[in-house]
Amino acid sequence: MSIVLESTVEELLRRFARGDRRACGQVISLVEDEAAEAKPILNKLYPLMGRAYRVGVTGPPGAGKSTLVEKLARHLREYDYRVGIVAVDPSSPFSGGAVLGDRVRMAALFTDPGVYIRSMATRGSLGGLARRTREVCDILDAFGCDYILIETVGVGQMELDIAEAADSTVVVLVPESGDSIQALKAGLMEIGEIFCVNKCDREGADRMVLEIQTMLELRPKNDSWIPPVVKTAAISGLGIEELYERISAHRRYLETSSILEERRRRAVRTEIERRLSEKLQSWLWRRDGFKERVEELVEAVMTRRVSPYEAVDLLFKERGFDE
Amino acid sequence: MSIVLESTVEELLRRFARGDRRACGQVISLVEDEAAEAKPILNKLYPLMGRAYRVGVTGPPGAGKSTLVEKLARHLREYDYRVGIVAVDPSSPFSGGAVLGDRVRMAALFTDPGVYIRSMATRGSLGGLARRTREVCDILDAFGCDYILIETVGVGQMELDIAEAADSTVVVLVPESGDSIQALKAGLMEIGEIFCVNKCDREGADRMVLEIQTMLELRPKNDSWIPPVVKTAAISGLGIEELYERISAHRRYLETSSILEERRRRAVRTEIERRLSEKLQSWLWRRDGFKERVEELVEAVMTRRVSPYEAVDLLFKERGFDE
């Protein structure tokens, strides 16, 4: 990504403020690419953020999340809400287009200017995906979205991190033997605030609702919210309205109990801590001779003359940090 | 975990050095619990590490990993190798015993003093699991294991991190429609150095071998190793010997090409960087008035008077770190 001139950034932000979708896409790309312009742009947009309500939708592959998100978005559009959709695919970079296929189909469905869709695939590293997801949501928030729907495949730790970016987390399961056990294994039972048994026309839907409710009773209670279990058939649109009502009820619960504010405060604190740590590290590594000294110590550890723990203690003392 | 007196630590390490399995378990527990004794213990054991060869075994739930690991361990025992098994279950803490059931069964099988088995479940936080897995392997290494088999459920990012602890990574799949696509999605196709089509008496095993080989051809080549695909039926023991030969071939490849040394050097470097970053952070947070100042800035960010980026810049400058 080439350096964009300052005047160009301002022009970009002017177009962004006018609601230009291409400008929004460009801003997202700059932030995703960690371009030099990302920080000043996010700084400028910061006062505009914090208005959108963020809904995470997660679940195992094949649960019908994309269709559900699409139908939920259409439903939100009936109330004239502006909707952002962030589809996160933490799959391998060389899986390429195939896996993203259904999302591309979803994108093709929307020519509605009140809906903004962004697909995020990992490009090599998974590490920064959760952070980038949060930043993309922030930008869509500043862009004026009332609701942001974040779709992730619920199979591992990554999704738990991404779910942290959401205000309400919807876990989507299908009536299939073993699906609820897999959900349990993947940690989904802990993060769900609303559960959705999708494809509920299939056999075993009611049994699955019961299974989920039983598992939820075993869950340690942190607050007074009891996660509801909604039956949906996303393809026909069945249950979408109830799902929306449950999300709204959860939102009211979070807002009136001030949990929403507390969560956002915690997110700010985490964000500051993380950025501070990054900045501190990069500062240290820029010190004269530091890299070279670390390489010396790496060799000393390789030949087992010192342990990694001793090496770190040594580096710390040499740089004048008192214990 | 209460503080163990220094003399007790020395006594513990003496028992550990004599090959006392209970002492080994206690050392692992101290390190897992991040007890005060963990650092000095790891320091003392460091010169004994670096001998074991570490094999990661990963794959989707139900692929038969536990049985495969058990059979591989038995095979290694025929050569009189000492074997450590680390079974990592990144499942939710409240899934409890049920999910760990098959591992308990495996553990019951072994009364062989040449095999040491350790199950690791997450206790609340997933964050430190990969690191703790590495440390447990280090301890088993120091305990005298020739081979360490690390079993993880291959469903997400966590497993990729854990796989980093291994010298050779075996990906286990079963002939089931969609299984290879799921493996692709979970990033398993990228980390596998040896592929194993288990339950190969099932229909579709040969087709799956072909599928995997096709996908591997699409994989960007970093080195000259071409991952072999082995058919096994772990329950009957079929293919276990071939699997062992492939692992040995991979080991020879890594050793003669000095890739093994380079990887271990990289691991040491990462370890030093990580510990340094942790130490630096904890140092900073112990400074006078730092926490309070961060809380002030959190409030300023909440009311959108400053952005998190500006808050961090401010903290950095106030503490006298020049850019």
Q: What is the pLDDT of residues B48-69, one digit of tens each?
A: 998 999 999 988 878 889 899 9
pTM metric for this prediction:
0.67
Lowest mean pLDDT among A109-118, B248-257, B268-277: A109-118
Q: Which of A110-114, A132-136, A250-254, B120-124 has the highest mean pLDDT?
A: A250-254
Higher pLDDT, A92 or A81: A81
ipTM above 0.85 for this complex: no
Confidence of residue A155 (pLDDT cuts 50, 70, 90): low
Q: What is the pLDDT of residue B219?
A: 78
Return the percentage of chain B with pLDDT > 70, whole number.
83
CATH number of the domain at A49-257, please? Answer: 3.40.50.300
HEC-encoded secondary structure of chain A: CCCCCHHHHHHHHHHHHCCCHHHHHHHHHHHHCCCCCHHHHHHHHHHHCCCCEEEEEEECCCCCHHHHHHHHHHHHHHCCCCEEEEEEECCCHHHHHHHHHHHHHHHHHCCCCCEEEEEEECCCCCCCHHHHHHHHHHHHHHCCCCEEEEEEECCCHHHHHHHCCCCEEEEEECCCCCHHHHHHHCCHHHHCCEEEECCCCCCCHHHHHHHHHHHHHHCCCCCCCCCCEEECECCCCECHHHHHHHHHHHHHHHHHCCHHHHHHHHHHHHHHHHHHHHHHHHHHHCCCCHHHHHHHHHHHHHCCCCCHHHHHHHHHHHCCCCC
Lowest mean pLDDT among A51-65, A110-124, B262-276: A110-124
- Nearest-Cα distance to chain A for B105, in Å, is 19
Q: What is the pLDDT of residue A185?
A: 65
- pLDDT digits 0-9 by tens, A233-281: 988 999 999 999 999 999 999 999 989 999 889 889 988 988 888 888 8
Chain A residue whose CA is closest to B43:
A307
Chain B residue numbers with beta carbons less than 8 Å from the beta carbon of A307 are 42-43, 46
Q: What is the pLDDT of residue B4?
A: 54
Mutation for testing the A interface, residue in B301, B303, B313, B317 having most A CBs under 10 Å: B301
A vs B: CB pairs below 8 A: 184
User: Is B268 within 8 Å of A302 when comparing Cβ atoms?
Assistant: yes
Mutation for testing the A interface, residue in B280, B291, B303 having most A CBs under 10 Å: B280
Domain edges within chain B: 1-48, 49-269, 287-323
Please name the amino acid found at residue A58: T
Task: Please name the member of B92, B218, B316 whose beta carbon is closest to the beta carbon of A184.
Answer: B92
Mean pLDDT of A148-177: 80
- Nearest-Cα distance to chain A for B235, in Å, is 22
Q: What is the pLDDT of residue B297?
A: 95
Q: B49-269: what fold?
A: Rossmann fold (3.40.50)
Lowest mean pLDDT among A1-5, A65-69, A157-161, A177-181: A1-5
Q: What is the pLDDT of residue A124?
A: 46
CA angle (B314 as vertex; B311, B319 as ends), nearest 5:
130
Higher pLDDT, A126 or A8: A8
How far apart are the C-alpha atoms of A179 and A303, rounded to whole Å? 49
Judge residue B157's burial from the number of C-beta atoms within 10 Å of its C-beta, 0-12 exposed, 13-18 middle, 19 or more buried: buried
User: Is A46 within 8 Å of B126 when comparing Cβ atoms?
Assistant: no
Mean pLDDT of chain A: 84
Confidence of residue B124 (pLDDT cuts 50, 70, 90): very low
How far apart are the C-alpha atoms of A253 and B210, rounded to whole Å? 53
Nearest to residue A189, comparing CAs of B158, B122, B159, B92?
Answer: B92
Q: What is the pLDDT of residue A177?
A: 61
Confidence of residue A95 (pLDDT cuts 50, 70, 90): very low
Confidence of residue B41 (pLDDT cuts 50, 70, 90): very high
Mean pLDDT of B231-236: 92
Q: Which of B89-98, B174-183, B186-195 has the highest mean pLDDT?
A: B186-195
Return the percentage of chain B with pLDDT > 90, whole number.
46
Please name the amino acid found at residue A104: V
Q: What is the pLDDT of residue B3?
A: 53
Q: What is the pLDDT of residue A215?
A: 86
Lowest mean pLDDT among A86-90, A128-132, B89-93, B159-163: B89-93
Lowest mean pLDDT among A1-5, A167-171, A240-244, B153-157: A1-5
Mean pLDDT of chain B: 84
Q: How many CB atoms lie within 10 A of CB B185?
A: 21
Mean pLDDT of B268-276: 88
Maximum Cα–Cα distance for chain B, whole Å?
69
- Nearest-Cα distance to chain A for B301, in Å, is 7
* Res B182 pLDDT > 90: no
User: Is B311 within 8 Å of A272 when comparing Cβ atoms?
Assistant: yes
- pLDDT digits 0-9 by tens, B153-171: 765 556 667 677 899 999 9
Mean pLDDT of B300-308: 90
User: Is A126 within 8 Å of B185 when comparing Cβ atoms?
Assistant: no
- Nearest-Cα distance to chain B for A112, in Å, is 30
Q: What is the pLDDT of residue A39?
A: 87
Higher pLDDT, B184 or B148: B148
* Res B96 pLDDT > 50: no
User: Is B157 within 8 Å of A160 when comparing Cβ atoms?
Assistant: no
Q: What is the pLDDT of residue B54?
A: 96
Chain A residue numbers with beta carbons less than 8 Å from the beta carbon of B139 are none
Please name the amino acid found at residue B173: L
Chain B residue numbers with beta carbons less than 8 Å from the beta carbon of A312 are 272, 275-276, 279
* Res B321 pLDDT > 60: yes
Return the percentage of chain A with pLDDT > 90, whole number.
46
Task: Please name the member of A184, A268, A302 whose beta carbon is closest to the beta carbon of B301.
Answer: A268
Maximum Cα–Cα distance for chain A, whole Å?
69
User: Is A47 within 8 Å of B304 when comparing Cβ atoms?
Assistant: yes
User: Is A272 within 8 Å of B50 when comparing Cβ atoms?
Assistant: no
Q: What is the pLDDT of residue B34?
A: 84
Confidence of residue A93 (pLDDT cuts 50, 70, 90): very low
User: Is B268 within 8 Å of A301 when comparing Cβ atoms?
Assistant: yes
- Nearest-Cα distance to chain B for A78, in Å, is 31
Higher pLDDT, A103 or B25: B25
User: Is B94 within 8 Å of A311 when comparing Cβ atoms?
Assistant: no
* Res B100 pLDDT > 60: no
